[in-house]
Structure 1
Amino acid sequence: MPRETRESAALFERARAVTPGGVNSPVRAFNAVGGTPRFIASARGAWLTDVDGHEYVDLICSWGPMLLGHAHPEVEAAVREAIARGTSYGTPTRPEVELAEEIVARTPVERVRFVSSGTEATMSAIRLARGFTGRDLVVKFAGCYHGHVDALLASAGSGLATFAVPGTPGVPASSTELTLVLPYNDRAAVEKVFAEHGDRIACLVTEASPGNMGVVPPEPGFNRFLAETCRQHGALFVSDEVMTGFRVSREGQWGLDGKTEGWRPDLVTFGKVMGGGFPAAAFGGRADVMHQLAPEGPVYQAGTLSGNPIATTAGLTTLRLATDAVYAHLHHVADTIKAATSEALGAAGVPHVVQATGTMFSVFFTDAGPDGAVRDFDDAQRTDSAAYAAFFHAMLEAGVHLPPSAYEAWFVSAAHDDRAVQTVLDALPAAARAAAAAAQEGTA
C-alpha cells in the first residue's frame, strides 16, 4: 500500500502559491521523477521524517554536508553555545580564524576567504583569477556545475542537466562568450584550446571530481595534466571542491590524487561539509594570488554574513569530528551499498554503471561506454531517466530517499548504521525490478 503523502501534498500546494515551482532549488520539486516531494519535519542520524510521519534512510545528506549525520549531538551543542553568544556581528570572530586554520592544515591552500554559498565561492575565484592574470577567458567542462554564476552556466550539470535546459534565459550571450566549454577527460581538447587561446586564458575551472552529472571521476593523471597545462600557459588552475571537499576524504579529492601525484591547484573552492549543514563556503589558494583580494589588493569581494559565527562553529566542529575512523566507516557503508545496488540491478537485467570517488558515488542507468565507464557528459546523458524514476519511487516507498534526479551523487554519513544499511539492501531487489519494467516499457 503506498505511503500517505497528504500533508506533503498540502504543503506543496501552499508552497506553489508563494514560491516558483513550490521549491527553493529546482531539483527538489520532483519534476525529474514525478510525484509529490516529501516535506521533511525532522532528521536525526541517518533518518529523515516527513510531515506525514514516515521515516526514510537519507542518501542525500543535504547534498553532501551531513558527513556525521543529522543532529549530531556535539555539533548541536557547539551551535547552541554559539547562538547563546549572538548570531551575527558583522565583525571578526574566533571561530572563523580557527576554521580557516583547519582548512589550511588539511588542504593545499595557504589563505582562505569565507563566503556564504558555493556559487559565491566560484564566482569570487573566477574574479580573482581574472584580476591576478589580467586575462578574460575561462575554460570549463561540459557537465561540471559551479553554481548559478552567469559565466559558468554554459553546458553545466546538476539542475540544468536534470531539466534538459541547454542554457538559461536571463543569461545574455555576452556573459558566456568568454567561457570556453570542453568535453571532460579529453586531454586533446584541452591542449587544442590552450594552443589557440593560451595567452588569453585566465583560468581553467573544474570539479575536482565531477558529481553534478553523476559521479564521473577524473581519469588517472587528468587533474595533474590540467594543473601542468595551466602553469605552462600562465593561467590559474581552479579546483572546485564544493562537493568533494572533506567528503571524499579528509583532504578532499586533492588528498586522493593531488597529494599522491605531487601537484597543487592555484585556487580551490569549498562548501557543504565545511559548513556542517549551515550556509557557508570558501575559496582559497596560493598566498600570492589571495594577496590580490581587498583589503590587501585591488580585487574586491565582500559579504555581510561571510564567516558567520554559527556556520563557522558548525563547520569547525564537523571537521574536528571527521576522524580517520569516520572516513573508514563511510567507505564501508558506501562500498556495501554500491555492491548491493549493482548486484540487484544486474540480477534484474538493468544496464547500469556504478561509479565513485572516495565515499561519493552514483548509479547510471545506461550501458557502459567503450572503455566500460561513463567518462564525460555525453556518456552521462545516455542514462535512462524513466528507469531511474521507477527505481527512485520504489526505493522511496520502501523507506529510502535517493536524490530525485538521475544526474546526482548519492551520499552516506557516519550515522548510517546496520539498520539503515539493511533497510537500503532490503529495498533494492524490488526497486531493480521496477527499473527493469520501466526500461522494457521504454523500448517497447
Structure 2
Amino acid sequence: MPAPSKLSHEKSHAEFHRARKVIPGGVNSPARAFGAVGGEPVVMDRGDGPYLFDIDGNRYIDFIGSWGPHILGHRHPRVVEAIEDALKHGTSFGAPTHLETVLAEIVVDAVPSVEMVRMVNSGTEAGMSAIRVARGATGRDKVVKFAGCYHGHVDALLVQAGSGALTHGVPTSPGIPAGATADTIVLPYNDPQRLAEAFTEFEGQIAGVFMEPVVGNMGLVPPKPEFLDAARQLCSEDGTLLGFDEVMTGFRLSFGGAQELFGVTPDMTMLGKVIGGGMPVGAYGGAAHVMENVSPLGPVYQAGTLSGNPIAMASGIATLSELKETNPYPRLEALGARFEQGLREAATAAGIPHSIGRVGSMMTLFFTSEDVTDLGTAQMSDTARFGKFFWGMLERGIYLPCSQFEALFISAAHTEEHIDEAITAAREVLGEISAEA
C-alpha cells in the first residue's frame, strides 16, 4: 500500500531510489525495507533523545531505538562523551586494550550465567560462535532451536526463523546447504512436552538448546514459566548446554537480562544491541568451564579483527554504567504498562481483534484475538491491517517497527507525554481502520 501524503517524503523517495541502484533492495538489512507494510522506507538524518528526524525534516517519536540498542535514547550525553574521548586515542589497534577488560568485567558482574565473555561485532557472530563452542565443548553435533526465533543469519539456525526472514516470507534462505541444517532440530516455542520428546529421541546427542528467553523476532512473545524451567532441567539431565539469545533482552529487561528477571540461568548467553550502546558490538559468554574451550585457551577457534574495538567498548561501558547507576527499569516497566493499557483500550473501543505481548519495555500489538504464544499463533495476525496501522501512526509522527513480527522498544528518554501522544495517535488510526471495515 502506498504511504499516505500527510507528510512530505520527497527526499526520502529520491534517496531510496538512488540507494536501490547500488544496494540490494536499497537497504543493508531486510528489516528496514518496509516490505511488510508496502511503500518505501523513510531515510533518516539524525536522532536526538526520543526522536528521529528524516531527511525531509519530519520528526518522529522513535519506538525502535535502532532495533533496541538505544535504551537511553539517541545521543545520550554520557555515551557521546565516551565515544569522543575514545576517538582521541585512535579507532582500532588490533591489540588488547584496557576498555575490553572493563566492559567484560561489567558483563560478568551483571549477567548470572557469564563467568567469562568474548567480544565480537554482532549478534550473528555471537550466535555462530556459541553454537561452535557448544559443539566443541560437548563433542555433540545436534542443536535445538525454536520456530520463529531469530539468532542472526547463522546457517545452522536460519531455519523457520523470525525477524526479517519471517517478514519477507523466507524462513529458510537459499544458499544454505542441506548439511548445514541437518543437525538442527526445530521445535515449537513454549511447548515443554515437545522439547522433552526431542530429548528422549536424541538422548545424548544434543549439544545445545538455543532460545530467545523472551521472543522479539516474531513479535514480542513471553515465555511460559514452565517452558524455561523444563528447558533448564532437561539440558542439565542430558549434559546439554542451554543457550539464551539475549541479544535483544540483555540489559534491556533488567540489568542482568531475562535470565535475571525469570530466575533461570543458562550455560551460555549471547549478547548484542544494548551492550554496545548503538555501536556494532556482540558478545557470547558463559560458565568458565565452557568458555575455556575457546581459542587461544582451548581448541575451539573464533577470531575477529575488530572484536573489542575501543570505540565500541567505550560506548558500551558508558551505556551499561549509566544503566547500573540510574536503574531505569522500574520506570520503563511503568511506561510499558501505560502504553499497553492505552493500546488495548484503543483497539477495544475500535472493535478490532487484538492481543498484546509485552515484557518490560518491549511490546507488540498483534492484530489477532488469539493469545500469541508461538509462531503458529503469531502468523494468525492480520498483516494487512497492521500495515494500515503502521502508516497511520507514521503519518502522525510515531515511528514503529515496520513489521507485525517485530517488537517495539521504549527508552529511558521517553516520557508519559510521549506515550500518551502515541496512544492518542493509535486511537485515531484504529478508529479509521474500523470505519473502513
- What's the TM-score bracket when you normalise by the shorter of the two chains? over 0.9
Matches of 1:309 and 1:166 in 2, distance apart? 35
Residue identity in the other structure for 2:434: A
User: Structure 1, unaligned stretches of length 5 or more?
Assistant: none
Which of residues 100, 117, 124 in structure 2 aligns to 1:96? 100
Matches of 1:163 and 1:179 in 2, distance apart? 22
Aligned: 1:206 with 2:211: yes
Q: Any residues of structure 2 matched to 1:270-289 within 5 Å, and which? A: 270-289=271-290
Matches of 2:96 and 2:61 in 1, distance apart? 39
Matches of 1:189 and 1:15 in 2, distance apart? 45
Which of residues 322, 339, 345 in structure 1 aligns to 2:347? 345
Q: Any residues of structure 2 matched to 1:134-153 within 5 Å, and which? A: 134-153=139-158
Give the secondary structure class of the aligned counterpart of 1:62. coil
Residue identity in the other structure for 2:28: N
Relative to structure 1, is the Cα distance of residues 201 and 88 closer, same or farther in structure 2, using a 3 angstrom cutoff? same
Q: What do residues 244-286 of structure 1 show as CA deviations (whole Å, max 9, x unaligned)?
A: 000011111011112xxxx421100000000000000100001
Deviates more, 1:312-321 or 1:410-419: 410-419
Structure 2 counterpart of 1:119? 124
> Shift in Å at residue 202 of structure 1?
0.6
Aligned 8 A contact 1:390 1:434 in 2: no
| Identity across the alignment (%) | 49
Aligned: 1:131 with 2:143: no
> Shift in Å at residue 95 of structure 1?
1.1
Give the secondary structure class of the aligned counterpart of 2:356. strand
Aligned 8 A contact 2:272 2:283 in 1: yes
Matches of 2:416 and 2:249 in 1, distance apart? 25
Q: What do residues 389-418 of structure 1 show as CA deviations (whole Å, max 9, x unaligned)?
A: 000000000000000000000101111124
Q: Any residues of structure 2 matched to 1:25-424 within 5 Å, and which? A: 25-108=29-112, 109-258=114-263, 263-323=264-324, 325-368=327-370, 373-424=371-422
Residue identity in the other structure for 1:51: I
Relative to structure 1, is the Cα distance of residues 166 and 417 closer, same or farther in structure 2, using a 3 angstrom cutoff? closer
Matches of 1:322 and 1:199 in 2, distance apart? 41
Aligned 8 A contact 2:241 2:268 in 1: yes
Aligned 8 A contact 2:192 2:226 in 1: no
Matches of 1:6 and 1:410 in 2, distance apart? 26
> Shift in Å at residue 225 of structure 1?
1.4
Q: What do residues 10-53 of structure 1 show as CA deviations (whole Å, max 9, x unaligned)?
A: 00000000000000000211111011211110100000000000
Aligned 8 A contact 1:209 1:215 in 2: yes
> Shift in Å at residue 437 of structure 1?
4.9
Aligned: 1:17 with 2:21: yes
User: Structure 2, unaligned stretches of length 5 or more?
Assistant: none
Aligned 8 A contact 1:239 1:265 in 2: yes
Give the secondary structure class of the aligned counterpart of 1:198. coil
Give the secondary structure class of the aligned counterpart of 1:34. coil
Moved over 3 A (4+): none
Residue identity in the other structure for 2:71: L
Deviates more, 1:14-23 or 1:213-222: 213-222
Q: TM-score, normalised by structure 2?
A: 0.97
Residue identity in the other structure for 2:38: G
Aligned 8 A contact 1:338 1:354 in 2: yes
Relative to structure 1, is the Cα distance of residues 384 and 80 closer, same or farther in structure 2, using a 3 angstrom cutoff? same
Matches of 1:309 and 1:13 in 2, distance apart? 35
Structure 1 counterpart of 2:426? 428
Residue identity in the other structure for 1:318: T
Residue identity in the other structure for 1:63: W
> Shift in Å at residue 224 of structure 1?
2.1
> Shift in Å at residue 91 of structure 1?
0.6
Give the secondary structure class of the aligned counterpart of 2:404. coil
Matches of 1:264 and 1:48 in 2, distance apart? 36
Relative to structure 1, is the Cα distance of residues 234 and 325 closer, same or farther in structure 2, using a 3 angstrom cutoff? closer
Matches of 1:18 and 1:198 in 2, distance apart? 49
Q: What do residues 42-79 of structure 1 show as CA deviations (whole Å, max 9, x unaligned)?
A: 10000000000000000101110001000001110111
> Shift in Å at residue 117 of structure 1?
0.3
RMSD: 1.1
Matches of 1:104 and 1:332 in 2, distance apart? 28
Aligned 8 A contact 2:162 2:171 in 1: no
Residue identity in the other structure for 2:187: L
Residue identity in the other structure for 1:330: L
Count of aligned pairs: 431
Q: What do residues 336-366 of structure 1 show as CA deviations (whole Å, max 9, x unaligned)?
A: 1111111111110111111112221111110
